């Protein structure tokens, strides 16, 4: 257990955790910039910031505003020196050298239950994840509960994958090249159903929502009308219901021991509608050649104490120095996790 001010986190033996940056109101998603800084979205403030660590001491030197006045900025991605930013209603990019703002995609569906938009640059395409407008319903806009594909200039809109109630985290497996996504499933089926999950995303794939919550298993509301549940693509990893998996990252650095490299790390934001809370931690999924080699296991925990919590993990990324960074939109902090082995903690 390691103290962080008045709170404590539990991290795997041999690892150390400390605050990388704080006073980041509602910090959400992160990205590594080509300048070596970490970029983060502050959705509540409508702002994106850069967090350089020029002296390499494991703590951000300052908070540098990058762009302000945005509508719920969330997902971030770099293509060379160009930063793509997903707002609720559009995707923009900041083009160097003067950070000229260009609108890439406009007119995304807005409102409803899920307003965050996550993006991923897959080869020469832009993928935008758009959550459902509801807990369970038949959407009028087919772009909801889906990942939508665009050319990098915003043209060529098409549905890349559907039936994903709220796929917040997107990451590419460095071994297989496959796209993996977290997915938050429905509420109001009790404490233990349905499981939240990670899916491997196939182009043209259908993942079941709203008719089914697992392959072959219809939601009760669709028990008489669901005809496609056998076609639904199932998860590759599952978590307890209402864990709310958000960001995920494959560890591609060299700072962790060999046994922790190449594995999947997932931020569980935590439940809001469960009789006893669950989630509020970062878990590790051991992988072998692109397949899970064991059940998810706690990597960093302690944000939940009994029925209360003091932090909610959102995103995880590998920092330029090989440490793992974790954002927390409840405590307004980013944490840094690194390997110290048998060295005594400072």
Q: Average the pLDDT over 281-307 and give the result.
A: 97
DSSP string over 49-91: EEE--TT-SSS-S--EEEE-S-SS---EEEETTEEEEE-SSEE
pLDDT over 60 at 344, yes or no: no
Q: How many CB atoms lie within 10 A of CB 160?
A: 21
- Domains of the chain, with CATH numbers? 2-69+160-339 (2.120.10.30)
pLDDT of residue 6: 83
Q: Average the pLDDT over 224-238 and give the result.
A: 96
Per-residue tokens: 326: 């974790």
pLDDT of residue 5: 80
- pLDDT tens per residue across span 92-138: 999 999 999 999 999 999 999 999 999 999 999 999 999 999 999 99
- pLDDT tens per residue across span 254-273: 999 999 999 999 999 999 98
More confident residue, 4 or 324: 324
- pLDDT tens per residue across span 70-99: 999 999 999 999 999 999 999 999 999 999
Indicate the pTM of the whole model.
Answer: 0.97
pLDDT of residue 343: 67
Cis ω on the peptide bond leading into residue 142 (within 30° of 0)?
no
């Amino acid at each position: 257990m390691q103290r962080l001010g008045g709170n404590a986190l539990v991290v795997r033996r041999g690892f150390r955790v400390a605050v990388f940056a704080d006073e980041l109101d509602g910090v959400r998603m992160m990205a590594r910039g080509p300048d070596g800084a970490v970029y983060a979205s502050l959705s509540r403030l409508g702002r994106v910031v850069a967090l350089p660590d020029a002296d390499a001491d494991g703590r951000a030197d300052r908070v540098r505003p990058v762009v302000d006045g945005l509508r719920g900025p969330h997902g971030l991605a770099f293509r060379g020196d160009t930063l793509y930013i997903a707002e609720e209603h559009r995707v923009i990019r900041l083009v160097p050298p003067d950070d000229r703002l260009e609108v890439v995609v406009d007119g995304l569906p807005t409102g409803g239950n899920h307003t965050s938009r996550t993006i991923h640059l897959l080869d020469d395409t832009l993928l935008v994840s758009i959550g459902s407008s509801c807990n369970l319903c038949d959407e009028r806009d087919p772009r909801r509960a889906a990942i939508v594909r665009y050319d990098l200039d915003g043209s060529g809109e098409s549905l890349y994958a559907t039936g994903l109630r709220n796929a917040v985290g997107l990451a590419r497996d460095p071994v297989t090249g496959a796209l993996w996504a977290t997915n938050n499933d429905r509420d109001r089926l009790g404490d233990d159903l349905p499981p939240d999950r990670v899916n491997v995303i196939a182009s043209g794939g259908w993942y079941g929502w709203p008719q089914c919550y697992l392959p072959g298993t219809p939601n009760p509301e669709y028990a008489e009308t669901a005809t496609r549940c056998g076609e639904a693509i199932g998860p590759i990893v599952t978590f307890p219901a209402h864990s709310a998996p958000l960001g995920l990252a494959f560890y591609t650095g060299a700072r962790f021991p060999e046994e922790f490299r190449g594995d999947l790390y997932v931020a569980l934001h935590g439940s809001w509608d469960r009789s006893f809370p669950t989630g509020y931690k970062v878990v590790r999924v051991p992988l072998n050649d692109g397949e899970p080699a064991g059940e998810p296991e706690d990597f960093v925990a302690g944000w939940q104490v009994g029925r209360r919590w003091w932090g909610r993990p959102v995103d995880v990324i590998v920092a330029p120095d090989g440490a793992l960074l974790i954002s927390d939109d409840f405590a307004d902090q980013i944490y840094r996790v690194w390997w110290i082995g048998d060295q005594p903690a400072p």
